[in-house]
Copies of this chain bind each other. A is one copy, B any other.
Amino acid sequence: MIQEAHPALAPERRDRIRSLVREGGVARVEDLRKNLKVSVATIRRDLEILEEEGKVKRVHGGAVSMESRLEESVFDDKTSQASKQKKRIAEDAFNLVGHEESVFLDGGSTTLFLARLLKQRTDITVVTNSVRAMEELADSGPRVIFTGGEFRRISQTMVGPLSSAILEQIRVDKAFMGTMGFCLKNGITTTDPNEAYIKRVVAENAGQVILMADSSKAEKVSFARVSDWDQVDILISDHDIPKDFTKTLRKRGIKVRLP
């Protein structure tokens, strides 16, 4: 058997597979084979090992990443419209981040997509109270400041008075927020009062507040009130949002972006 000039070491190759699977969320065996220039048998064997280690989950035709909690939750509806919209919203938000700025990311899947994009940047500072965003940025990328506080398992975020201890000491250029619901009458609402409180503190200490919410959140009202619309500078949503909604918000001086 003739080996190539530089046959990648087995762990090296598996690491490569791992990140390829993680990047795309899923990967086909055939694509991996072309990318790594080894036989499908080797790919399969590697996937078997990676599955034992719990890094990926094998499926017919390829494998799914088990490392990113982002995929874990989004996987089942990866192709769904909602997920695509969230991704587009995140990409649009990414373009708003300027050079050497500091940004805040709160919990939620939309901001998590943004976190993944921000991984490329090393010139910025990311402040977050989301453990998932933290994990996403743990290996490389921007400077990260984590708020700390009490851990809330349901949302995988840090909440409570201890969190604000740090938040009050810092100021960010832009705060990217998710939400459970927003409507013209009640403003922004979310499920947990503690989380609502954190969002308020952040909004007060941010240059710009950018709300990222797909149209499924429109006209929804949740339990805990976060803030009124006058706190929000920009809303990024999608085209399925009611027309009069956009119109009213723009009249109130809020920039509405529909990528």
Q: A146-B146, A147-B148, A148-B146 are in contact. Are A61 and B166 (CB under 8 A)?
A: no
Interface assignment of A64: CB less than 8 Å from any CB of chain B: yes
Option from B61, B140, B148 in Cβ contact (under 8 Å) with A10: B61
Complex CA–CA separation, A158 to B156 (angstroms): 17
Copy count, this protein chain: 2
Q: Which residues of B contact A7 (CB under 8 A)?
A: 61
On whether the beta carbons of B150 and A158 are closer than 8 Å, the reply is no
Q: Which residues of chain A in 125-183 are interfacial with respect to chain B, using CB atoms and an 8 Å cutoff?
A: 131, 134-135, 137-140, 143-151, 153, 156, 158, 162-163, 165-166, 169-170
On whether the beta carbons of A162 and B169 are closer than 8 Å, the reply is yes
Option from B60, B139, B140, B151 in Cβ contact (under 8 Å) with A146: B151
Interface assignment of A9: CB less than 8 Å from any CB of chain B: yes
On whether the beta carbons of A76 and B53 are closer than 8 Å, the reply is yes
On whether the beta carbons of A145 and B138 are closer than 8 Å, the reply is no
Q: How far in angstroms is the closest Cβ of chain B from A67?
A: 11
Q: Which residues of B contact A147 (CB under 8 A)?
A: 148
- 17 A–B contacts from the bound complex (CB under 8 Å): A9-B26, A9-B59, A10-B61, A11-B26, A11-B59, A12-B25, A131-B138, A139-B153, A144-B151, A145-B151, A146-B146, A146-B158, A147-B148, A148-B158, A148-B163, A148-B166, A165-B166
Q: Could you list which residues of chain A lie within 8 angstroms of chain B, going by C-beta atoms? A: 7, 9-12, 25-26, 28, 53, 59-62, 64, 76, 131, 134-135, 137-140, 143-151, 153, 156, 158, 162-163, 165-166, 169-170
